[in-house]
Amino acid sequence: MSHVFHRHLKQRYPTAVSGEGPYLIDADGRRYLDACGGAAVSCLGHSDAEVVEAIREQVGRLAYAHSSFFTTEPMEALADFLVERAPEGLSSVYFVSGGSEAVEAALKLARQYFVERGETERRHLIARRQSYHGNTLGALATGGNAWRRRQFEPLLVEVTHVSPCYAYRGQAPGETPEAYGERLAQELEAEIQRLGPQTVMAFVAEPVVGATLGAVPAVPGYFKRVREICDRHGILLILDEVMCGMGRTGSLFAAEQEGVSPDLVTIAKGLGAGYQPIGATLVSERIRAAIAEGSGFFQHGHTYIGHATACAAALAVQRTIESRDLLSRVRTLGEGLQGRLEDRFGEHPHVGDIRGRGLFRGLELVADRDGKTPFAPERKLHAAIKRTAMDHGLMCYPMGGTIDGQRGDHILLAPPFILEESHLDEIVDKLDATLKSVL
Ligand code: PLP
């Protein structure tokens, strides 16, 4: 019996012992093509020599220094790197150890910003159903996934949720994408009015929804309208790019493709690419200035803020992505993957939708294509797909979400940026074999 408290206590896991580019290798020598980067993490694959060397060098010199005593060179350099490339207005970076912590920091920064300004009545958060923002209590309260929240509801602060921008199911027949986006923007406006505009603190959304919907981008213009509405009411816009950021969709920040500048952006996963655990919250100048010129102290913190080794690893990851021009590779490979998925599954009776951006792609599985009827939850399709794909030597990220009360299934693909074209064929072949076995 394992003494590790594994998340699934009735399941046995193979032991991963090494990594080789886009493959993970287990103790029996079996190779798995990592087509989901674990959970959209390993964007550089598993054995990047430059990153390994940067970690070795940093850990040998200075592994860690507590942020209440010192700043460090890698933390400063990583902040410079990110701010230089971030959407307009973001001027500083608060470093944490992962995505949920980044979201918690964003929520507290939003609240403290308004407290510093004397707008203490601003306390309401609005987010979207079918979103995931992490598993710590504040982040879980913000997320709108009923299944993840269910048993913890009594512990969650109140956050109201509006509809996600989910064209496959939400756009009405005959409605243009623009009209659909406008309808959703009006829903947000109505919710702000219901709560009272002066009481709303922030609107939180993933630019491309990851874990709960499976790589769903918004319709054109939606985020611009959201930004306008937030601005009109003095509400902060928090974009959660923990999964879709750091190049995953083909631009360093997913917000770039929406043409909006958020007030706070959360990143993690691809930031350190799994070489070290690290996350961050990028902060707009007006928030930084309000706190700097007010109390001068952000009332929040963790032991591992700006961990020197984690920052050195993330800096090496990001410099490597830039020096090898991997973002243009993400765009090209992403188109190649979408094309292959459409060729192979475009007419599949149980694939309702194939979507995404860059190397962030999703397939929605349905019992009936015409009616878009989800599979019955009792089938536990996601578990069967994950297991079967592993048997075929493929890691993909299937999830059973909840679609307005009903459960739905999708498969998320988020492979490393270093793939060759031949790996795209391998992904599609192995996925095809998996779906043939399971469906
Ligand atoms: N936000 C988003 C959009 C995520 O996808 C995730 C994780 O999947 C999180 C936050 C939480 O990140 P972590 O698991 O690193 O705490």
Instruction: Indicate which CATH number applies to the domain containing 257.
Output: 3.40.640.10
Whether residues 378 and 396 share a domain: the answer is yes
Q: Can you give the pLDDT at residue 198?
A: 98
pLDDT in tens, 76-93: 999 999 999 999 999 999
Residue 301: CA atoms inside 13 Å, Cβ hemisphere, count?
10
DSSP 396-409: -EEEEEEETTEEEE
pLDDT in tens, 388-435: 999 999 999 999 866 666 668 999 999 999 999 999 999 999 999 999
Residues contacting residue 196 through CB under 8 Å, at least 6 positions apart: none
pLDDT in tens, 121-162: 999 999 999 899 999 999 999 999 888 898 999 999 999 999
Q: How many domains does the chain have?
A: 2
Whether residues 305 and 345 share a domain: the answer is no
**Mean pLDDT across 200-227:** 97
Q: Is the pLDDT of residue 377 over 90?
A: no
DSSP 322-358: HHTTHHHHHHHHHHHHHHHHHHHHTT-TTEEEEEEET
Would you say residue 386 lies in a domain?
yes
Q: 99 CB under 6 A from ligand 1?
A: yes
Q: Can you give the pLDDT at residue 146?
A: 85
Ligand 1 atom 1, closest CA: 133
Instruction: Indicate which CATH number applies to the domain containing 395.
Output: 3.90.1150.10
Q: Is the pLDDT of residue 108 over 90?
A: yes
Q: Is the pLDDT of residue 321 over 90?
A: yes
**Mean pLDDT across 212-227:** 96
**Mean pLDDT across 100-112:** 98
Rounded distance between C-alpha atoms, residue 41 and residue 45, angstroms: 9
Q: Can you give the pLDDT at residue 404?
A: 67
Whether residues 276 and 370 share a domain: the answer is no
Q: What percentage of residues in the chain have a pLDDT greater than 70?
A: 98
**Mean pLDDT across 222-238:** 98
Would you say residue 333 lies in a domain?
yes
Whole-number average pLDDT of the chain: 96
Whether residues 239 and 348 share a domain: the answer is no
Cα–Cα nearest to 360, from 22, 97, 19, 43:
43
Q: Do residues 240 and 266 lie in contact, with contact meaning Cβ atoms separated by under 8 Å?
A: yes
Q: What percentage of residues in the chain have a pLDDT greater than 90?
A: 92
List C-alpha distances in Å: 435 to 117, 313, 337, 439. 55, 37, 17, 6
Would you say residue 6 lies in a domain?
no
Would you say residue 7 lies in a domain?
no
How much distance in Å is there from the Cα of 87 to the middle of ligand 1? 21
Q: Which of 323, 346, 374 is the last residue of a domain?
A: 323
Pocket test for ligand 1, best of 36, 42, 100 (most atoms within 8 A of CB): 100
pTM of the model: 0.98
**Mean pLDDT across 182-187:** 98
Cα–Cα nearest to 273, from 93, 68, 21:
21
Whether residues 113 and 230 share a domain: the answer is yes
Helix ranges (H only) for 23-161 are 37-40, 49-61, 73-85, 99-116, 137-142, 146-149
Q: Do residues 29 and 56 lie in contact, with contact meaning Cβ atoms separated by under 8 Å?
A: no
- Of 95-109, 290-304, 382-396, 401-415, the one with minimum mean pLDDT is 401-415
Question: Binning pLDDT at 50, 70 and 90, where does residue 353 land?
Answer: very high
Whether residues 151 and 198 share a domain: the answer is yes
How much distance in Å is there from the Cα of 100 to the middle of ligand 1? 6
Whether residues 431 and 393 share a domain: the answer is yes
Q: Which value does ipTM take for this structure? A: 0.99
Whether residues 208 and 349 share a domain: the answer is no
Whether residues 25 and 95 share a domain: the answer is no
Q: Can you give the pLDDT at residue 164?
A: 95
How much distance in Å is there from the Cα of 182 to the middle of ligand 1? 28
Q: Can you give the pLDDT at residue 123?
A: 97
Q: Which of 323, 350, 365 is the last residue of a domain?
A: 323
Q: Which of 293, 323, 353 is the last residue of a domain?
A: 323
Whether residues 60 and 99 share a domain: the answer is yes
Q: 216 CB under 6 A from ligand 1?
A: no
Backbone angles phi, psi at 146, to 5 degrees: -60, -40
Whether residues 249 and 373 share a domain: the answer is no
Q: Which domain holds residue 111?
A: 52-323
Pocket test for ligand 1, best of 97, 266, 269 (most atoms within 8 A of CB): 269
Q: Do residues 78 and 93 lie in contact, with contact meaning Cβ atoms separated by under 8 Å?
A: yes
Q: Is the pLDDT of residue 11 over 90?
A: no
Whether residues 131 and 280 share a domain: the answer is yes
Q: Can you give the pLDDT at residue 392?
A: 98
